[in-house]
Amino acid sequence: MNFENSVSFAKQLDKNDPLKDFRQQFIIPSIDGKEQIYFLGNSLGLQPKKAKDELNKILGQWSVYGVEGFFKGDDPWIDYHDKLTKPLAKIVGALPHEISVMNQLTVNLHLMMVSFYNPNGKRNKIICEAKAFPSDQYMFETHVRHYGFNPDDTIIEVQPRKNEYAIHTEDILLVIEQHKDEVALVLFSGVNYYSGQLFDIPTITAAAQKAGAKVGFDLAHAAGNVSLQLHEWNVDFACWCSYKYLNAGPGAVGAIYIHERFHNDKNIARYGGWWGYNKATRFKMDKGFKPINTAEGWQLSTPTFTSLALYKAALDIFEQAGWENILAKRKLLNDYLWFVLNEIKIKGAFEIITPKNEKEKGCQVSLLMPDRGKTVFDELAKAGIMVDWREPNVIRLAPVPLYNSFEEVWQFGNILRQILKK
């Protein structure tokens, strides 16, 4: 498509957008009655209007049935999990029984480390990307110390090349090959939180498994953002949070994917808990952990159904919109953002550090601000544009297809140009 940097062109894109009405299903932050331009779906997605209704259904069932709400009412809680796994399976490219909605992201990563990080002799290394999200770094550090290893010796970080911000896939493959006799686990982000780089998940997966390692992904910035085919790509496991692109609310329950080939592996290490026990005999309260033979077997505690209800409210919207339609608009919206940014021809004003290649990006664009970056960020906020500041000098923004418009992208570019000219 031949883009134009004009408000009339942006409005025409919105008029032709088959998803334009879905914006009305979300609450847009407003100040003094004026809607803000919210480009922070990469940090916290907006609240679906029907979230309150879904929450009230849980509260109403609790009030009417008490503990019998697990088994009675329109939506018995004992089977509520199934309402989430089917739509999520479409979004991450998995089989429904390969998904379990549970806990939060870092807790789930630790649980996956129990099952899939099995150091044995010199094969104890973990390969990950440099500048992974801090929570992942702390998880790695504390988990390997639990085994008595020195993190500096055990964790191998793949760095960007000099004066670059993205990591070349061939460099990742080279590091895996160099350490093929020592690596026990390869664990990357799907999309790097800082640069917005989408990693080549199938290629990394194949290389890690060829080297004899297990492979997993933190999909916090990928789930609900980019096209994923976890089962087809043969990924061993993955975890994600649900409060960013999946709009399930602050601190919402996370989820895991575990390939079905591990479900009946009686030798796999795991922690056991009440909610992961075989459903048919769970209430007999017998000794001896007998897990559900799906990804649900990794569950520990009874879930927070109020959190599941908020997640369901968001996933219902994804189902209505259609995942393929969301992906198509995401690409067009992101392409238009890049066009508008490239039209700001002010030398040295900023550098886009997100890869340009369509296969290496999602919603997010990261702008390196060499000068006055925090001032620019503050001026954008005053103008009603909500973006993200990351020290020392990066502005992140992520227009998302369910509630952002093309006109908002144009407005952002126009306001940013005016600020940079000052």
pLDDT value of residue 21: 97
Phi–psi pair at 119, nearest 5 degrees: -60, 135
Q: pLDDT band at 215, cuts 50/70/90?
A: very high
Q: pLDDT band at 1, cuts 50/70/90?
A: confident
- Greater model confidence, 32 or 232: 232
CA distance 108 to 255: 8
pLDDT value of residue 375: 96
- 202 cis-preceded (ω within 30 degrees of 0): no
- Whether 284 has a pLDDT exceeding 90, the answer reads no
Q: Span 338-349, mean pLDDT?
A: 94
Q: What is the pTM of this model?
A: 0.96
Enumerate the domain spans of the chain: 7-47+323-421, 55-318
- Whether 78 has a pLDDT exceeding 90, the answer reads yes
CA distance 119 to 126: 9
Q: Which two tokens stand for residue 400?
A: 């998302």
The model's pLDDT over 140-181, given as tens digits with 9 standing for 90+, comes to: 999 999 999 999 999 999 999 999 999 999 999 999 999 999
- Whether 422 has a pLDDT exceeding 90, the answer reads no
pLDDT value of residue 34: 94
pLDDT value of residue 164: 95
Phi–psi pair at 176, nearest 5 degrees: -60, -45
CA distance 21 to 321: 10
Q: pLDDT band at 358, cuts 50/70/90?
A: confident
pLDDT value of residue 283: 86
- Whether 113 has a pLDDT exceeding 90, the answer reads yes
- What SS3 class is residue 422? coil
Q: Where are the beta strands (DSSP E) in 190-245?
A: 214-218, 237-240
Q: pLDDT band at 82, cuts 50/70/90?
A: very high
CA distance 3 to 332: 10
Contact residues for 89 (Cβ-Cβ < 8 A; gap 6+): 95, 96, 98, 99
Length of the chain in terms of residues written: 422
DSSP secondary structure, 28-96, as one string: --EETTEE-EE-BTTT-PPPBTTHHHHHHHHHHHHHHHGGGGGTSSSS-GGGTTHHHHHHHHHHHT--G
CA separation, residue 319 to residues 103, 128, 307, 309 (Å): 23, 33, 19, 15
The model's pLDDT over 121-143, given as tens digits with 9 standing for 90+, comes to: 999 999 999 999 988 999 999 99
pLDDT value of residue 362: 96
The model's pLDDT over 250-266, given as tens digits with 9 standing for 90+, comes to: 999 999 999 999 999 99
Report the topology of domain 7-47+323-421. Answer: Aspartate Aminotransferase, domain 1 (3.90.1150)
Lowest-confidence segment of 34-48, 175-189, 275-289, 321-335 by average pLDDT: 275-289
CA distance 114 to 142: 13
Please state, for a pLDDT cut of 70, what percent of the chain lies above it.
100
Class of the CATH domain delimited by 55-318: alpha beta
Q: Are 7-47+323-421 and 55-318 equal in CATH topology?
A: no
Average pLDDT, the chain: 96
Phi–psi pair at 227, nearest 5 degrees: -75, 130
- What SS3 class is residue 183? strand
